[in-house]
Structure 1
Amino acid sequence: MYKKIKIENFRGIPNLELNDPRQFNLFVGKTNCGKTSLLESIFLLSGATNANLPVSLNKFRGYNLINDYLWTIIFYNLDYQTPIRLYGEMTKTREKRTLIIKPIQETILSTSADSSSLSVKDNQTLPPVKINGLSMKCSIQKDANKKPLTSESKIYMGKEGYMEVSPAKNFPYIIPAQFISPATYNVHIAKHFNEIQIKKKEKNILKILQKVEPQLVDLSIGAENILYYDIGLNERLPLNVTGEGIKKILAVILSIYNMSGGVILIDEIENGLHYSIQEILWEAVFEAAIAFDVQVFAATHSYENIKAYSTAYEKLGDKDDKIRLFRIENEKDNVRLIDFNHEMIDMAIAKYWEVR
């Protein structure tokens, strides 16, 4: 699990340090304060040798165009001259990892011999450059007495106009992580449920979902990898036609079950959930993540979700202080975190303090 994270020049974050995160961490703050960017940075750092991730994060945000912005929008203020630097320290392994992301730049040279093609703008000694991809250099320090392990992976636009990846070689140090957002939570449900079914752990999932839908009898995988649910009718129904609440809870819990020892990042965790079942979600998250040793980072806009987060943890009866709430404040290029432990969260709720 992460015990410290530093972020430099990523998206809307010029510089930010996250100290002493716990097993469960909830980020709050005003719109555009950097909640999603903070989650994304942890995702990138966890998969530091996977050069596909920056492009995937753009797609999660709905940006699918292939142009110069594809590579530059992950840099703070589009300043690709300053590298993105992500740093993390782990608890149990004492591992220290650093990820540096830089643009791959190509010089644009004119091949025309026609003097009419020359531009009066060509009055500089440096030729123009084009951003054609990203380089991800990862460094992992596992032993203070030994040199760090290093690798580099790249993603770039090939000569045929297709995206190409140059993977890191012989470098398996990826922390299992999954990024869940309103756009992606539905993607791996059937696959993850099938894996749970093989391990005969689906009954635990059913017990959780029955708190939301008491008539639920069973879940099963059908043709074309479609998940069906049984509520006692003559036929099973595709899960896609059920409410968003069941699908969201199922997606989150299945992800935790399949990321043992890893990290789950949940953006807009309250999205699609009625306030009355948000506590059920957090109870399930606490139970599953503790069982599978998963660290959770989530973001919310909802006061009800903050209250559910605190109440569900109170019911857990845990005495190890496993939760934190971090409020992100972003003013004039100064981003900082204000942290609340469980006692402080409860006090803020009781006194109606604004912590979002």
Structure 2
Amino acid sequence: MLRDISLKNYRMFKDFQIDGLARVNLLVGPNNSGKTSLLEAIHLLVNPDNINEVFDEVLGPRGQFLLVPDRWGDEPEIEHQIKTLFYQEILTSEATLCIESKSDDLQSFVLQLYPTPEYMEGLNLPEFVTKALRINNYNLLVSHTQEKQTIYHATKVTAKGITSSDFRGLTRSDPPLFQSRQSVLMTLERLKLVTLVEMWNEIALTPKEEQIIKGLQILEPDIERFSFIGGTTTASGVLIKLRGREHPVTLGSMGEGMKQMLNLVMAAVTVENGILLVDEIESGLYYDVQADMWRLLIEIAQELNIQIFATTHSWDCVRGFAAALSETPESDVGKLFRLSWRGELIRAIDYPAEQLEKAVDYGIEVR
């Protein structure tokens, strides 16, 4: 579990540190204060074996990529606008991007430009890495350290900060050094149907299925079962069986809140021993059910050893979070962090459960 994280030269974070992270963390703050960017940074940090997929998930929802027609007429190739990850979008050899956590064993994600072969001389890199950079004319390197091991990926990047190919692994490892997926990132686009079906294959006929039903029943107590069927969207590809009704209904007929709850709980129970990252967690959910949502997520987080990071602009979501924490015996299970600008730097102010409860009781604005 992450207890701290620091960011340097990453998006709008010139130099940022946050300590005292809890099992369940709610991030608040004004627009453009870095809440979503912090979720993305954690996603980059903890997934060293899926670097290309993770870049797709971080840059894709923001539209920070290009689709280039394939010369053979196959699917278009994706080129990432990688410079957008750097502070003020300045990609130079002096502006090393670093995401780091010192919890337990050091974890780090470092993205750095190596513009010329001469620049690499004297750098503290393994010989096989410098050799691969020279031979392949790679000039952008990811160094990913976890569990006292470092793996490397490299690619070519243009002068405009656009990758001209996928990142290629420079470290031979079979099996992979780390587990395949250590976090799930839920952007405002939410999870695709194909992703939910893959998750369902791991959940079906296990106790985790009961947790999903429990989550859906927060919004509709008469739900008995649900199932995936052929379809192109989550709305049409999921059937819901309601108590007292002979025929099931599609998920799409039950509103956005039901789709949001299905996404949340399925992602949570799938990422056991990992991290769930959710942008605008209250989206589509009626204010009156948000405390119940938090109670269930806290319960799942404790049972399955999950750490949760979520963002919100909603006072109802903050109030529901405070109510759920007040009923939890472990007072340190959750914490609210407010991100805000202090001059040219972003800083975090933390509100442990007791302080948050008092702030909500007295109507003190914490967002």
Shorter chain as denominator, the TM-score bin is 0.7 to 0.9
Question: Residue 102 of structure 2 corresponds to which residue in structure 1?
Answer: 89
Question: Residue 261 of structure 2 corresponds to which residue in structure 1?
Answer: 249
The Cα offsets for residues 101-142 of structure 1, whole Å up to 9 and x where unpaired, read as: 1246589xxxxxxxxxxxxxxxxxxxxxxx9874211223x4
Q: Which residue identity is paired with 1:249?
A: M
The correspondence for 2:344, drawn from 329, 333, 338, is 333
Alpha carbons of structure 1 residues 223 and 186: separation in structure 2 relative to 1, 3 Å: closer
- Which of the pair is proportionally richer in helix? 2
Question: Residue 122 of structure 2 corresponds to which residue in structure 1?
Answer: none
Question: Residue 305 of structure 1 corresponds to which residue in structure 2?
Answer: 317
SS in 1 for 2:32: coil
Aligned-pair CA distance for 1:56: 2.5
1-structure distance, mates of 2:205, 2:167: 33
1-structure distance, mates of 2:202, 2:49: 25
The correspondence for 1:201, drawn from 194, 203, 208, is 208
Aligned-pair CA distance for 1:294: 0.2
Work out whether residues 190 and 263 of structure 2, in 8 Å CA contact, stay in contact via their aligned partners in 1.
Answer: no
The correspondence for 2:88, drawn from 45, 58, 77, is 77
Alpha carbons of structure 1 residues 55 and 154: separation in structure 2 relative to 1, 3 Å: farther
Question: Residue 59 of structure 2 corresponds to which residue in structure 1?
Answer: 58
Identity percentage of aligned residues: 25
Work out whether residues 326 and 357 of structure 2, in 8 Å CA contact, stay in contact via their aligned partners in 1.
Answer: no
Aligned-pair CA distance for 1:63: 3.2
TM-score (norm. length: structure 2): 0.80
Alpha carbons of structure 1 residues 163 and 207: separation in structure 2 relative to 1, 3 Å: same
Runs of 5+ consecutive residues of structure 1 not aligned to the other structure: 108-130, 143-147
2-structure distance, mates of 1:257, 1:57: 22
Aligned-pair CA distance for 1:62: 3.3
SS in 2 for 1:164: coil
1-structure distance, mates of 2:86, 2:260: 31
Question: Residue 225 of structure 2 corresponds to which residue in structure 1?
Answer: 218
Bigger mean CA deviation after superposition, 203-212 or 276-285: 203-212
Aligned-pair CA distance for 1:12: 1.1
Aligned-pair CA distance for 1:261: 0.8
SS in 1 for 2:50: coil
Alpha carbons of structure 1 residues 70 and 239: separation in structure 2 relative to 1, 3 Å: same
User: Is 1:258 matched up with 2:270?
Assistant: yes
Q: Which residue identity is paired with 1:246?
A: M
The correspondence for 2:189, drawn from 183, 194, 201, is 183
Alpha carbons of structure 1 residues 228 and 38: separation in structure 2 relative to 1, 3 Å: same
The correspondence for 1:173, drawn from 175, 178, 196, is 178
Question: Residue 41 of structure 2 corresponds to which residue in structure 1?
Answer: 41
Alpha carbons of structure 1 residues 74 and 190: separation in structure 2 relative to 1, 3 Å: same
Work out whether residues 6 and 88 of structure 1, in 8 Å CA contact, stay in contact via their aligned partners in 2.
Answer: yes
Question: Residue 251 of structure 2 corresponds to which residue in structure 1?
Answer: 239
Aligned-pair CA distance for 1:21: 0.2
TM-score (norm. length: structure 1): 0.82
2-structure distance, mates of 1:276, 1:236: 26
2-structure distance, mates of 1:239, 1:22: 33
Q: Which residue identity is paired with 1:265?
A: L
Bigger mean CA deviation after superposition, 11-20 or 185-194: 185-194
Higher Cα Rg, which structure: 1
Alpha carbons of structure 1 residues 184 and 204: separation in structure 2 relative to 1, 3 Å: closer
SS in 1 for 2:178: coil
SS in 1 for 2:365: coil
Question: Residue 110 of structure 1 corresponds to which residue in structure 2?
Answer: none
SS in 2 for 1:65: strand
Bigger mean CA deviation after superposition, 52-61 or 65-74: 65-74
Q: Which residue identity is paired with 1:60?
A: P
Alpha carbons of structure 1 residues 244 and 224: separation in structure 2 relative to 1, 3 Å: closer
2-structure distance, mates of 1:223, 1:198: 19
Question: Residue 102 of structure 1 corresponds to which residue in structure 2?
Answer: 112
Work out whether residues 104 and 156 of structure 1, in 8 Å CA contact, stay in contact via their aligned partners in 2.
Answer: no
Q: Which residue identity is paired with 2:285?
A: L
Question: Residue 304 of structure 2 corresponds to which residue in structure 1?
Answer: 292
What do you get for the CA RMSD once the two structures are aligned?
Answer: 2.6
Q: Which residue identity is paired with 1:169?
A: R
Aligned-pair CA distance for 1:154: 2.6
Q: Which residue identity is paired with 1:166?
A: R
Work out whether residues 177 and 264 of structure 1, in 8 Å CA contact, stay in contact via their aligned partners in 2.
Answer: yes
Query: Structure 2 matches for 1:261-280, cutoff 5 A?
Result: 261-280=273-292
Runs of 5+ consecutive residues of structure 2 not aligned to the other structure: 69-78, 118-136
Aligned-pair CA distance for 1:272: 1.5
